[in-house]
Amino acid sequence: MSTGNIEFGTALRSPYEVAKLSRQIEGLGFDILGCGEHVSFYGDTANGLVSLSVAAGATTHIRLMSTITLVPLYPPALLAKMGAALDVASGGRFSLGVGVGGEFANEFAACGIPVNERGARTDDALEVITRTWTGTDVTYDGRFTKLENFSLKPLPIQKPRPPIWVSGRSDAAMRRAAKYADGWLPYMYTPEQLAGSIAKIRAFGEDMGRDMSDFTFGMYIFTAVHEDNETAIKYAADRLSTQYSQDFSQLVHKFALAGDPDHCQARLQEYIDAGASMVFVSAACPDDYIDTNLEMIASSIIPAFRV
């Protein structure tokens, strides 16, 4: 089995008990702790930067990634400040995960942001973030943001800046990753789709004159691990069918990591062979099995991919 240096991340599953959950995830040996967000959604949701700030104080070494920040909903300079402040507060452990959102139009309307501008606003914000995280007295004349001799103080601890990860499925997202990011984190992808996106991002980067040798390709995947293979598959199918309001019984094998440890290791190897060197797992199981699921991943999946 090919292992390499595979890193593993997982997300806070709730906006509640953040400190406790963060310590649990760090204690299980995960490399990265993530948190998603919405301003408003179907159920209870966190703000990623706020929850990760709590996690920063509750942990000592696990890296913190916003998975995913809805970038167009923030004023770019404010998001740059919040990210820099979190990097400082965490001792240099923050990574910004970038997404354009749009699947819940109500939150865009509430924030006064036209949904059809979300891609352009995200690119504008990434330009601002990149410049203000790496220098001072920044002047910038963008479509949505104007800066004149603008500085963030203090700058982030990580140099030249905290890592940026882009999520998405479109060619526009892949170009965004190639231009601004250090990592690519798609979801609901097959190994074949992942390989295709990697080839595209490398090509986009090369066309821009960028050296892509240090770029990291990851994978965000819904996961259910159980000693009984069929139980795990049912867990994932039921959870994802509810979450996405469609029948996932025939899609689990395509898009999720579900099964007994041997099956999950074999499937995960396909993603690694396709080019993933970071795997971000998200629970796809009943609430009362989430702790066990995390422990199964930590004990029976992660060790198989450690050097």
Q: 201-205 long-range contacts, Cβ below 8 Å, gap at least 24? A: 201/174, 201/177, 202/178, 204/174, 204/175, 204/177, 204/178, 204/179, 205/178, 205/179
pTM: 0.96
- pLDDT score, position 4: 67
- pLDDT score, position 186: 97
- Answer whether residue 157 is part of any domain: yes
The helix (H) or strand (E) run that includes residue 193 is helix 191-207
- Answer whether residue 164 is part of any domain: yes
- Answer whether residue 1 is part of any domain: no
The separation between the first and the last C-alpha atoms of the chain, rounded to the nearest angstrom, is 11
- Answer whether residue 2 is part of any domain: no
The answer to whether the CB of 27 falls within 8 A of the CB of 59 is no
Structure tokens at 111: 């924030």
- Answer whether residue 245 is part of any domain: yes
Mean pLDDT per 10-residue run, the chain (307 residues)? 78 96 98 97 94 98 98 98 98 98 95 98 98 98 98 98 97 98 96 98 98 97 97 97 90 96 97 98 96 98 91
The answer to whether the CB of 223 falls within 8 A of the CB of 281 is yes
- pLDDT score, position 231: 98
| CATH number of the domain enclosing 268 | 3.20.20.30
Residue 115 sits in which domain range?
A: 7-305
- Answer whether residue 241 is part of any domain: yes
Q: Rounded to the nearest 5 degrees, what angle is found at the Cα of 296, between the Cα atoms of 295 and 298? A: 65
- Answer whether residue 266 is part of any domain: yes
- Answer whether residue 59 is part of any domain: yes
Count structural domains, the chain: 1
